[in-house]
Amino acid sequence: MAFDIDKYTTNSSAVAWGDLDFDEFDRQPLPASTLRTLRYMCDVEYHTVCYLRDLLTTPSHKEPEIGAFMTMWNREEFWHGEALAAVLGKHGIAVDFDELKATRVKLGWKDRLDPIKQSLLSGLVGHDFVAVHMAWGAANEWSANAAYLRMAKKEGHPVLAELLKRIAAQETKHVAFYASQARERLMASKKAQVIARFALRKFWGPVGSTISSEDEVKHVMSDLFGGSEGRKLIRDVDSHIAKLPGMEGLTIVETSLDARGIPEFDVEPSLETVAA
C-alpha cells in the first residue's frame, strides 16, 4: 500500500501530552538511569533540524513528496523533543540549547562541514543518493520506534508509557514513508542497492551516536536493548532492514551492539544481591 503523503501532511500535528497528568512524576519519579536515556533521546529529537539542513543540499530536496514529508517530519521530531524535555523538567533537568551546541562542538561534530560533505557525496553518487537516504532513514526510524516502545514497556510508568506510545505512533508513520520510498527506489536500481548496502554496512551507527559521547551511546543501548528481550527487538529491526531490496543478510543494529559489548543474555543476579 502506497504512503499517502497528502493525508500525512494534512493530519500532521504535535504529539499530544497536555491531557497527561505530569504531576504523577512527582509521585512516581523516574530513576536516574531512565532519565539519562530520556535526555539522550531528547537531544536526538532536537537535533533533527540539523539532519534536515544537511539533506537540503542533496537531490532528496528536489523530490516533492520527500520535501513535503521532511518538512512535517522535522516538526514532529521537534515536538517529540519538547515533550521529552517537559518530562525531564519535572525532574529538575533543564534542556539548554547552548549546552547542547557546546557539547557537540566538544565532541568534534563539524557543524559547518556536514552540509558540504553531504553535498559532495550526493554529487558523486547522483540521483541514487535518494534511495540511500530513504534506506538509511528507514533503519533509523525502525530503531527509534523500537527504542520508544521498549522504554514504555520496560519502565512501566503510566504517564511516561502513554507519552512514549504516542511518540512511537508518529514514528511508525515515519517508518512507513521511508520504507515505502526505499523499497521503490532500491527495486528500480541495482546500483542504488549496492551503494545503500555498502553505506549501511560500513557507516551506519545508532541514532545519536554522532552527537553523543560513546559512554552515553553504550548506556542507552544497554539500557534499552541489553538482555534477551532487547536483543529480540534488535533482531526484529534488522529483519525489517534485511527485507529491503538488496539488503538481505544485513545485521547492522545487532553488529553495533556487539561492537559495544552490549550483553545478549540477561544478567543473573549475584549471590550477594539475592542475599541482600
Contacts of 137 (CB under 8 A, 6+ apart): 174, 178, 182
The one-character DSSP state at 204 is -
CA distance 13 to 79: 9
Contacts of 42 (CB under 8 A, 6+ apart): 81, 84, 85, 88, 95
Residues in the chain: 276
Give CA 43 to chain center in angstroms: 11
Instruction: Select the more confidently predicted residue: 83 or 114.
Output: 83
**pLDDT digits over 120-164, tens only?**
455 545 578 899 999 999 999 999 999 999 999 999 999 999 999
Q: How far apart are CA 228 and CA 268, in angstroms?
A: 12
Average pLDDT on 215-239 reads 96
Fold adopted by 22-267: Ribonucleotide Reductase, subunit A (1.10.620)
pLDDT beyond 80 at 101: no
- Is the pTM of the predicted complex or chain greater than 0.85? yes
Nine-digit cell string for 162: 502513554
C-alpha cell at 145: 520506534
**Confidence band, pLDDT 50/70/90 cuts, at residue 175:** very high
